[in-house]
Chains A and B, each alone.
Chain A
């Protein structure tokens, strides 16, 4: 009895199309965000996150239409990240039907943007995304720094302190990605996840590195995350979300299993 830990599939969208190939069985259009979102909803996804990776800001309107279409057919929370830099960007996505926006680079360039967005639209819809990398030597106290530009550019900002500051500024949730693990399928950076989760009072979503169902469960049990985000293990139909939840439940984690209706 209580709050369920969440599983959140993440879809990369470029010019309105899902990329990094989603491979569902018998899907008509593997690039259609609406159809993929509907599949994930049917499998019991607790939320869906869209990451707009469209390079040109001229094409951002496309993402607005994607969100509008998904939100009129899929009735679970939707988060949109990528290119959210102004209050107008936040408003546009929320009006299109997003429940939350994820702010990354703009928070680093201008931390007060997070405060203003949270005051204007409420903490519940502001997620701050943190991309962190370990910077300590093996014999040192663990330390992680924020990196931008896909993990290439260091900022000198301590990830744990930054998460605390963003929560104070009004972030309702932290989306924490280990750039060391992202794409490796070696599992979350559990030490990082646990350090951030214990440092902030708001929920933390673990991201980066999921390759097995054990990794998801470890993120919750050892990393103390409140939710786990993954892309490829679901996209390539290695596992369904329901399988992942049944596995997590077997390891003693409270999950929301598909509606009995």
Chain B
């Protein structure tokens, strides 16, 4: 039986993530856990997160999970959600500047005062709601998901990976930003697949079947 660990480090409610995975993988063992041993033993790992990056990094340290996350992000099918991918980069501008996990090169940047280039109208921050994700590369996790499908986003900071080759999906909000990044066994999305109806469930189902 596939064992999927959802890393619970006290940042946000993971029930929805667990329920959505149970929905697409009724035979898998879905475990919400902060136990290092369980995470290292799991076949697949989901790294979610909500809230501020300062709290996120503090809680990871508190639960002694920094090295564990770094390790499983390199050697298991690994899915980062929302704040998860932000924590994987080197540095975030949030909370006055926070050092992150440095699994991937790049930084996290505030949307700032945005205007729509076409209409000139101010764009609201947080970027909240359903936006399109343009798949810039083929990837097993995009399988069965139509190009430019909409997913549910809620965030005020965005991913700016140092290396363009990490980007596998992009989204337009005033400008184009990286909404999905991938490398080897790692796939991470800024949006919430667990709240993105059919397209989101398909992505989670693809993750459960993914053998990088």
The answer, yes or no, to whether A3 is at the interface (CB within 8 Å) is yes
Pair A6/B129 contact, Cβ less than 8 Å: yes
Which of B123, B150, B172, B196 is within 8 Å of A75, CB to CB?
Answer: B196
CB distance from B120 to the nearest CB of A (A): 13
From B11-19, B38-46, B72-80, give the one contacting chain A.
Answer: B11-19
Q: Is A256 a contact partner of B201 (Cβ separation < 8 A)? A: no
A-contact bits for B145-160, CB 8 A (1 contact / 0 none): 1101110111110000
Count: A-B pairs, CB below 8 Å: 108
CB distance from A74 to the nearest CB of B (A): 9
Question: Known contacts being A3-B173, A259-B149, is A76 close to B197, with CB within 8 Å?
Answer: yes
- Whether A46 pairs with B12 at a CB distance below 8 angstroms is no
In the complex, chain A residues whose CB is within 8 Å of the CB of B127: 3
Q: How many residues of B contact A (CB 8 A)?
A: 46
Task: For B134, give the chain A residue with the smallest CB separation.
Answer: A1
Q: Identify which of B126, B131, B173, B202 contacts A261 (C-beta below 8 A).
A: B202
Are B19 and A121 touching (Cβ within 8 A)? no
Q: How far is the CA of A98 from the CA of B117 in the complex (A)?
A: 34
Whether A122 is near chain B, meaning CB under 8 Å from some CB there, is yes
B87, chain A: closest CB distance, angstroms: 14
Q: Assess whether A256 is in contact with B130, with CB atoms less than 8 Å apart.
A: yes
A95-B13, A96-B15 known; A75-B195 Cβ under 8 A: yes
Query: B197, A123: Cβ atoms under 8 Å?
Result: no
Residue B68 at the chain A interface, CB threshold 8 Å: no
Q: In chain B between 184 and 210, which residues have their CB closer than 8 angstroms to a CB of chain A?
A: 192, 194-202
A143 CB to nearest B CB, Å? 23
Contact with A124, one of B16, B126, B196 (Cβ below 8 angstroms): B126
Nearest CB in chain B: distance from A176 CB, A: 14
Main SS at interface, chain B: mixed
- A95–B51 contact, CB under 8 A? no
Digit string of B82-107 for contact with A (CB within 8 Å is 1, else 0)?
00000000000000000000000000
CB <8 Å contact, A2 and B131: yes
Contact string against B for A residues 59-78, beta-carbon threshold 8 Å, 1 for contact and 0 otherwise:
00000000000011101110
Do B13 and A4 have beta carbons less than 8 Å apart? no
The answer on a CB contact under 8 Å between A71 and B15 is yes
Q: Is B12 within 8 A of A122, CB to CB?
A: yes
Q: With A4-B150, A226-B124 as given contacts, are A75 and B50 in contact (CB-CB < 8 Å)?
A: no
Nearest opposing residue in chain A for B82, CB measure: A124
Q: Does B162 contact A (CB under 8 A)?
A: no
Residue from A75, A125, A201, A261 within 8 A of B23 (CB atoms): A75
In the complex, the chain A residue whose C-beta lies closest to that of B145 is A261
Q: Which residue of A lies closest to B196 (CB)?
A: A75
Bound: A201/B205 CA distance, A: 36
Q: Which residues of A contact B146 (CB under 8 A)?
A: 260-261
B199→A259 contact, CB < 8 A: yes
Q: Are B130 and A71 in contact (CB under 8 A)?
A: no
Contact of A2 with B173 in the complex, beta carbons under 8 Å = yes
| A77 adjacent to B197 (CB under 8 Å) | no
A202 in the interface (beta carbon within 8 A): yes
| Assembled-state Cα–Cα distance A122/B152 (Å) | 17
In Å, the complex CA distance between A172 and B199 comes to 25
How far, in angstroms, from A1 to B172 measured CA to CA in the complex? 7
Which residue on B lies nearest to A96, using beta carbons? B15
B124 touches A203 (CB 8 A): yes
Q: A217-232: which have CB < 8 Å to B?
A: 226-227
> Which residue on A lies nearest to B13, using beta carbons?
A94
A63 to chain B, nearest CB (A): 16
Taking CB atoms, residues of chain A closer than 8 Å to B145 are 261
Chosen A-B contacts, 7 in total, with CB atoms closer than 8 Å, are: A1-B132, A4-B131, A46-B130, A72-B23, A76-B195, A261-B145, A261-B146
